[in-house]
A and B are shown apart, each in its own frame.
Chain A
Amino acid sequence: MTEMLKIVDLHAEAGEREILKGVNLTVKEGETAVLFGPNGSGKSTLLATIMGYSTCKVTQGEILFKGQDITEMTVDERAKLGIGMMMQRPPNIFGVRLGDLIKATSENGEAILGEAPNFKMQNFLDREINVGFSGGEIKRSELLQLTAQKPEFILLDEPESGVDLENIDLIGNKVRDLLYDQRKGCGGNIQRHVSSLVITHTGQILDYIGADCAYVMKEGRIRCSGRPMDLLKEIKENGYGECGACQIIEL
Chain B
Amino acid sequence: MSDNRAVKEALGKQGAYGEDIDIDLYETGSRDVDQIDDLESSEYRKYMENVGVVADEINRSGTLMFIDNGMSHCHAQEQEGLEMMSVREALEKHDGLKDYFWTAVDPTKDKYTATSYLDDADGYFIRVKAGHHVKNPVQTCMLINQNKSAQKLHNIIIVEDGASLEMITGCSTAHHAGDSIHVGVSEIFVGDNANLTFSMIHSWGKQTGVRPRTVCNVGKNSNYTNNYVILNPVGSLQSFPVANLGEGSSATYNTMCIAHEGSEIDTGGLVNLNGKGARSEIMSRSISMGGKMCARGRLVANAPQVKAHLECRSIILKDGGSTLAVPELEAHVADVEMTHEAAVGKIARDQIEYLMSRGLDEDQAISMIVRGFLSGSINGLPPALQKELDEAIEQANLGD
Which positions in A face B, CB cutoff 8 Å? 51-55, 74-76, 78-80, 84-85, 87, 90-97, 100-101, 104-105, 128, 145, 148-149
Contacts and interface: CB of A to CB of B under 8 A. Distances in A.
A95 B348 CA distance: 13
B354 A79 contact: no
B372 interface: yes
B355 interface: yes
A96 B372 contact: yes
B373 A79 contact: no
The A contact surface, by secondary structure, is: mixed
Given A53-B350, A93-B351, A105 B359 contact: yes
Contact of B373 (A55, A91, A95, A148): A95
Nearest to B353: A75
A101 B358 contact: yes
A80 to B, nearest CB: 6
A145 B369 contact: no
Interface residues of B, number: 24
A95 B372 contact: yes
Given A91-B348, A96-B368, A100-B368, A76 B354 contact: no
Nearest to B358: A105
Contacts of B355: 93, 96, 101
Contacts of B364: 104
B350 A91 contact: yes
Interface string B327-363: 0000000000000000000001111011111111110
B45 interface: no
Given A94-B372, A94-B376, A79 B357 contact: yes
A149 B369 contact: no
A101 B361 CA distance: 13
Given A95-B372, A97-B372, A101-B368, A51 B357 contact: yes
B287 to A, nearest CB: 12
Contacts of A148: 358
B350 A55 contact: yes
B369 A74 contact: no
B8 interface: no
A94 B343 CA distance: 14
